């Protein structure tokens, strides 16, 4: 009789274990774990063919924006947009006699520089099913009159904002982490930035909130969390990823009389989720 009870007990435990295993398998089926997808690899600045696979020259909407630099560059002209030693260099130089003489974008400042901008061919769209991590190492000028940036924005996709600035330098020894919910509702966090042109890491992790409307943005410098901001209604909005060296404008005026260089390396974009 004891042997029968022992056998029955063992059988019941076996059944429970099998049921538990089946339950875990069902959870795995309905809640799959997805590996991160590399959208832009850290090698995208290794050479021009690789660069042109992932990036396009100038802004998504053209050569002009809200500063005094007009962006110049294409597959045969690398005087202002150059890649070498796995590093992107955007180079601004003073110019005169620009045609047209003022920017075609508001607030239509006079053009004083030729410079460089690029944008990713893949747009960033955060949904309830995926999140994005944008990271890279930056050597940014902080000289008065310079205005480089590393940002996502919706302008020329549908409308502006949304906008998120992972890197924005306005002619001072600070980097601005910004989130524009409207043109007047803006969250900004300033962190000290070295003036010696050394490279430092910036990262933003964009994740949908549980309301499936807003996006949580965690900003890091040198792998240390600096601030968390929230983009209202950012979920499902396609955003351009832009790297540019604008001049004057928010960076102050007059700008430098010589050459200004903004460098980026090890830039990577990954998407987690389905």
Output DSSP code: residue 258: S
Separation of alpha carbons 209 and 212, rounded Å: 6
> Exposed, middle or buried by CB within 10 Å (0-12, 13-18, 19+), for 55?
buried
Separation of alpha carbons 195 and 32, rounded Å: 46
List residues with catalytic annotation: 163, 168
Output DSSP code: residue 124: B
Is the sign of the CA dihedral 207, 210, 213, 219 positive or negative? negative
CB 126 within 8 A of CB 235: yes
Is the sign of the CA dihedral 13, 15, 19, 24 positive or negative? positive
Separation of alpha carbons 111 and 63, rounded Å: 11
The residue to which tokens 């010696």 are assigned: 196
CB 95 within 8 A of CB 222: no
CB 170 within 8 A of CB 177: no
Give the angle subtended at the CA of 156 by the CAs of 154 and 160, to the nearest 5°: 40
């Amino acid at each position: 009789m004891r042997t029968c009870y022992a056998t029955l007990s063992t059988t019941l435990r076996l059944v429970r274990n099998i049921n538990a295993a089946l339950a875990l398998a069902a959870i795995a089926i309905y809640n799959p774990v997805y590996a991160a997808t590399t959208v832009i690899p850290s090698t995208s600045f290794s050479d021009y063919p690789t660069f042109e696979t992932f990036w396009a020259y100038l802004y998504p909407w053209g050569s002009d924006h809200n500063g005094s630099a007009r962006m110049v560059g294409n597959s045969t002209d690398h005087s202002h947009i150059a890649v070498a030693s796995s590093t992107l260099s955007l180079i601004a130089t003073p110019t005169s006699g620009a045609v047209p003489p003022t920017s075609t974008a508001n607030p239509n400042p006079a053009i004083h520089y030729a410079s460089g901008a690029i944008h990713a061919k893949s747009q960033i769209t955060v949904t309830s099913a995926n999140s994005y991590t944008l990271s890279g190492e930056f050597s940014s000028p902080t000289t008065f009159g310079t205005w480089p940036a590393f940002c996502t924005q919706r302008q020329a996709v549908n409308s502006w904002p949304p906008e998120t600035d992972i890197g924005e330098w306005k002619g001072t020894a600070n980097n601005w982490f910004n989130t524009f919910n409207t043109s007047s509702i803006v969250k900004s966090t300033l962190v000290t930035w070295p003036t010696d042109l050394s490279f430092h890491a910036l990262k933003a992790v964009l994740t949908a909130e549980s309301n499936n409307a807003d996006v949580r943005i965690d900003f890091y410098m040198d792998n240390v969390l600096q601030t968390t901001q929230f983009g209202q209604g950012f979920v499902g909005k396609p955003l351009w990823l832009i790297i540019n060296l604008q001049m004057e404008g928010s960076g102050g005026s007059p700008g430098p009389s010589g050459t200004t260089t903004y460098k980026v390396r090890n830039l990577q974009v990954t998407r987690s989720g389905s």
